[in-house]
């Protein structure tokens, strides 16, 4: 038996350091082990390549999310799994992108700010709290959590494997990936 999938977008949203990239990378390993057609659009990489020159105003953040969404729509319409790991702080812009993509699953990667600050090896949360970093999501700039995410993981309460399995099970249950050879 072979692993089969349809094109879809898996959009991981959450604050900086919540675990979006870590979960995405683990999912990418599983997809690749099963020879899936898959692409990862990580927020930091996209900003460097596709959205270079954009700042962190609301307008620029919305433009960045819309650009990522455009690429995801192209990929998923053509049978590719598009995995996004991006803060994407504004609910209305995420909802706008969702409305344009046929198969879209929003994953809310949640972790309390106190835990994020403890995990933060670069000290961004401390600097933002001290007013040294402007427009820092969740501190000096808003983060609007999804009201009804398709999948909700809590990285302060779940192991990485538990979070990944929760996402994987959702995809199998929706019929977007086959259960054969999918573990």
Contact by Cβ (8 Å): 90, 17 = no
**Active-site residue, 99 included:** no
pLDDT of 26 over the 60 cut: yes
pLDDT digits (tens, 9 = 90+) for 54-70: 888 899 999 999 999 99
**Is 36's pLDDT higher than 60?**
yes
Q: What is the pLDDT of residue 51?
A: 75
The reported pTM is: 0.93
Give the closest residue to 107 by CA, choosing from 183, 11, 40, 8: 11
Q: Which residue segments constitute the domains of the chain, with CATH numbers given?
A: 8-174 (3.40.50.300)
pLDDT value of position 3:
76
pLDDT at residue 81, as a whole number: 98
Residue 92: the pLDDT is: 97
Catalytic: which of 16, 21, 51, 88? 88
Determine how β-strand 8-13 pairs with β-strand 81-85: parallel
Is the model more confident about 102 or about 49? 102
């Amino acid at each position: 038996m072979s692993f089969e999938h349809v094109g879809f977008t898996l959009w991981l949203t959450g604050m900086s350091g919540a675990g979006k990239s870590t979960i995405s990378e683990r999912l990418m390993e599983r997809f690749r082990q099963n020879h899936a057609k898959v692409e990862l659009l990580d927020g930091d990489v996209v900003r460097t390549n596709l959205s270079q020159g954009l700042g962190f105003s609301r307008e620029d953040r919305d433009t960045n999310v819309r650009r990522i969404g455009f690429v995801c729509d192209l990929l998923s319409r053509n049978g590719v799994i598009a995995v996004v790991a991006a803060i994407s702080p504004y609910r209305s812009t995420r909802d706008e992108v969702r409305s344009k993509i046929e198969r879209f699953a929003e994953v809310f990667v949640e972790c309390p700010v106190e835990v994020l600050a403890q995990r933060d090896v670069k000290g961004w949360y401390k600097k933002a709290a001290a007013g040294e970093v402007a427009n820092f999501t969740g501190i000096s700039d808003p983060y609007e959590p999804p009201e009804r995410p398709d999948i909700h993981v809590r990285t302060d309460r779940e192991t990485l494997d538990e979070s990944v399995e929760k996402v994987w099970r959702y995809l199998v249950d929706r019929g977007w990936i086959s259960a054969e050879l999918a573990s």
